[in-house]
Amino acid sequence: MGTVAGGRAVSGPHALATVIRVDPPVSARVGDKAVVTPDGRLDGWVGGACSEPIVIREALAALAEGNPRLVRITPAEMQAALAEQPAAEQPGVVAAVSTCPSGGGLEVFVEPVGVRPRLLVAGATPMARTLATLAQVLGYEVSAVDDAGVERVGRDAAGPDDAVVVATMGHYDEEALAAALRTRAGYIGLVASRRRAATVFDALRGRGVDPGELERVANPAGIDLGPSTQEEIAVAVLAELIRVRHRRAAMPAPPVEQAIDPVCGMSVAVTGAKHVADHDGRRYWFCSEHCLHAFTRSPERYTSV
């Protein structure tokens, strides 16, 4: 899925920020858009230095959580009134304070795009084919891996929201499982009997795989349906993937690393920050060039706390 913002096509996971309301004076207009990538880069226009740091910060949080949010940016002089607004406590609504002197405000809708869980299925069995088909219906980005491409497992499934299912039925279990364990995949399942799995685990320990890593492997993969056909095993594995995914979604997302601009007091996302300065062995982050220049001209003014 691709998005165009700032005249550039963006693919892969990103957040799309759209200005939906303005309270002049602001430089943004309703309908202005920007894309924020996971590395904290913003392409497009959502109002310049008064709003960009806030949008980047909230876009990174939306990507981490996988949920959209409405960001209400209000001038600092309205901070007390903003805290009393019931809407500020509504799920999906973020109240943010701009420290810029312009006095305007705006609302920006931020939505994650292209954030789909990935599933790699190793094997050419009926179970593997059925699992791949059903997972696509449920929105997974699916890749099938045969023995010739088993090393792709290690390259393609790298994140905690990804899953790897090894369903090779004895053909190259050890190779596929070893590659899966080199990733940070949140779910690794081995479709095999416990006896077969014990043999595979012994072989991997003999290759130097940490026994603690083997504890990441779900075996037998899937919820217990009793004696099942290959296709039914695929349903059981998919049900377990859904259960794991829902449990992860219920857990709080890791917080976006932030720093306080020592000049204006705005909270700035550390990831991808463009305005940074070091002073007396300490690093500082800034919302804009204006704050950065103010700091570099007189750092003692902002560090003598």
Instruction: Give all domains of the chain, ordered by start, each with its CATH number.
Output: 2-114 (no CATH), 118-250 (3.40.50.720), 257-305 (no CATH)
Q: Look at residue 87 in the predicted model and tell me its pLDDT.
A: 47
Other beta carbons within 10 angstroms of residue 298's beta carbon come to: 10
Determine the pLDDT at residue 254: 74
The model's confidence at residue 88, banded by pLDDT at 50, 70 and 90, is very low
pLDDT above 70: residue 1: no
- The pLDDT tens digits of the residues spanning 36-50 come to 999 999 999 998 888
Q: What's the rounded Cα separation, in Å, for the pair 57 and 79?
A: 19
Mean pLDDT on 184-202: 93
Mean pLDDT across the stretch 197-220?
Answer: 94
- Cα–Cα distances (Å) from 102 to 47, 51, 106, 107, 159, in that order, read 11, 11, 12, 16, 41
Least confident of 7-21, 88-102, 130-144: 88-102
| pLDDT in the model for residue 81 | 54
User: pLDDT confidence of 155, banded at 50, 70, 90?
Assistant: low
Q: What is the dihedral of CA 233, 237, 240, 244, to 10 degrees?
A: 180
Q: Does residue 24 have a cis bond before it (omega within 30 degrees)?
A: no
- The average pLDDT across 132-158 equals 76
The encoded tokens of residue 103 equal 């006095």
% of the chain with per-residue pLDDT over 70: 87
Q: How far apart are CA 144 and CA 165, in angstroms?
A: 10
pLDDT at residue number 260: 92
Question: CA torsion 54→273→61→186, rounded to 10°?
Answer: 180
Q: How many CB atoms lie within 10 A of CB 225?
A: 12
Q: Which residue has the tokens 């997302």?
A: 253
* Residue 11 phi, psi (nearest 5): -120, 170
Report the greatest alpha carbon distance in the chain.
74
**pLDDT category of residue 156 using cuts at 50, 70 and 90:** low
**In whole angstroms, how large is the CA radius of gyration of the chain?**
24
pLDDT at residue number 16 = 96
- Residue 92, judged by CB atoms within 10 A of its CB (0-12, 13-18, 19+), counts as exposed
Q: Please tell me whether the overall predicted TM-score, pTM, comes out greater than 0.75 for this model.
A: no
143 pLDDT above the threshold of 70: yes
pLDDT at 17 over 50: yes
Q: If we measure between CA atoms, which residue out of 192, 188, 170 comes closest to residue 178? A: 188
Residue 92 confidence class, pLDDT cut points 50, 70, 90? confident
- Going by the DSSP 8-state scheme, the letter that residue 281 receives in this structure is T
* 209 pLDDT higher than 90: yes
Say whether 96 sits in a helix, a strand or coil: strand
- The pLDDT value recorded for residue 262 is 93
